[in-house]
Amino acid sequence: MDTTRLSGKNILITGAAQGMGAAVAVEYAAQGAKVCLGDINVEGAAAVAQQIRDDGGTATHVRLDVSSEEDAAAAVAHTVAEFGSINVLVNNAGINKPLFFLDITRDNWQRIMDINAWGTLNCMQAAARQMKEQGKQDYPYKIINVGSILSREAFDDVVVYSASKHAVLAMIKGGAKALIEHNITVNGYGPGVVRTELWEQLDKDLVAIGKFDKPGESMDSLAENMILMKRYSYPEDVVGTASFLASADSDYMTGQLIMIDGGMVIQ
C-alpha cells in the first residue's frame, strides 16, 4: 500500500462509526489522509478514530446528524480547526427501512429522505461553502457521495430508499455542474449488497414484512439470483474505489457514479 497516496488530504467522512464509513476512514488514514469521522453515534466514531490513532494515523471525530444544518457546519468547522482545511467530503451516512409500496407512510418517506437525500445535500453545501472560502488550490476539492445499486434500480420493497439514492445520483450530476466553478468535483460510488449493520437490520425488516422467510435468506438469495459474481460484499470491497475517488488519480473526473456491485446493475 502507498501510505502517502492521500497525504495532504483533510477528509470529513459522515456515518463513519461503523460499516463502510469506518472502513473507508481507516483506509484513508492508512494512505496518509487526516480524517474526521462524523456520526450520530459519537461513541462509535470516537472508537474508530482512536483505533486509527493507535495505528499511527491522524483522526478526530465529531457528533454529526447529517440532517442538521448546524451540525453539518460544525463538523466542517471542526475538521478545519483540527487540520487547517478540508479538501474532501465523503457523504456516507444512510439508512433504510423497507415497506411494500402500498404500505409506505409519510413518516417512512420523510425519515429516509431527510437523512439520505437532504443529509447529502446539506453536507455538500456546508463543505462547498468552506472550500469556496478556502479558494483555489492546484488540484480539485472533492465531494464523494455514496449511492447504491438503488441509484439506478428500484425494488418493490425499498422504493423510498431507491428514491433517496436516485436523489444522491442527481446531486452528483447537478453538484458537479454547480460546483466546478469553485474547483470542486463531485463523484460517487454505488455499493450492491454489503454485509454491514445496515444489511443485518434490513434482513430482519425484510423477514418482518414477509419478503423473506428466514434470517440470512435475503443476502444469499440476492447473491445467487442477482449478483453476477455470486457473492455479496464486505466493506473492504469498497475501500479501493473510495480511495481512488479521494486521490489524484480521479482529478479529471466529475459527475460520475461508479458501481461496486459484483455485476448486479449494468447500465
Ligand X SMILES: NC(=O)c1ccc[n+]([C@@H]2O[C@H](COP(=O)([O-])OP(=O)(O)OC[C@H]3O[C@@H](n4cnc5c(N)ncnc54)[C@H](O)[C@@H]3O)[C@@H](O)[C@H]2O)c1
**CA–CA distance from 19 to each of 15, 58, 219, 234, 236 (Å)?**
8, 20, 16, 9, 10
Q: Say how far apart CA 131 and CA 125 lie, in whole Å.
A: 10
Question: What residue type is 121 in one-letter code?
Answer: L
Closer to ligand X at the Cβ: 15 or 262?
15
β-strand partners of 62: 38
CB of 255 to ligand X, least distance (A): 19
Closer to ligand X at the Cβ: 138 or 172?
172
8-state DSSP, 194: B
Catalytic annotation, residues: 161, 165
Q: Which stretch binds ligand X (CB under 6 A): 35-43, 103-111, 134-142, 171-179?
A: 35-43
Cβ neighbours for 131, distance < 8 A, ≥ 6 positions apart: 86, 87, 141, 182, 183, 184
Report strand pairing: 184-191 vs 257-260: parallel
CB of 139 to ligand X, least distance (A): 26
CB of 66 to ligand X, least distance (A): 4
Closer to ligand X at the Cβ: 23 or 176?
23
Please report, as residue ranges, which positions from 78 to 97 form the binding site for ligand X (by CB under 6 A).
92-95
Of 209, 38, 212, 210, nearest to 108 (Cα)? 209
Determine the 3-state secondary structure of 184 from DSSP.
strand
Cβ atoms of 193 and 263 within 8 Å: the answer is no
Count interface residues toward ligand X (CB under 6 A). 30
Q: Which stretch binds ligand X (CB under 6 A): 36-44, 49-57, 104-112, 207-215?
A: 36-44
Closer to ligand X at the Cβ: 65 or 205?
65
Please report, as residue ranges, which positions from 190 to 249 form the binding site for ligand X (by CB under 6 A).
191, 193-194, 196-199
Please report, as residue ranges, which positions from 102 to 121 form the binding site for ligand X (by CB under 6 A).
115, 119
- Per CB under 6 A, 188 contacts ligand X: no
β-strand partners of 63: 39
Among 67, 79, 130, 254, binds ligand X (CB under 6 A): 67
* x/- map, 12-31, ligand X, by CB under 6 A: --xx-xxxxx----------
Of 242, 241, 197, 253, nearest to 11 (Cα)? 242
- Per CB under 6 A, 65 contacts ligand X: yes
- Per CB under 6 A, 262 contacts ligand X: no
Please report, as residue ranges, which positions from 135 to 164 form the binding site for ligand X (by CB under 6 A).
146, 148
Cβ atoms of 7 and 32 within 8 Å: the answer is yes
Cβ neighbours for 2, distance < 8 A, ≥ 6 positions apart: 31
**Residue 259, φ and ψ in degrees, nearest 5:** -80, 140
Interface residue list for ligand X (CB under 6 A)? 14-15, 17-21, 39-41, 44, 64-67, 92-95, 115, 119, 146, 148, 191, 193-194, 196-199
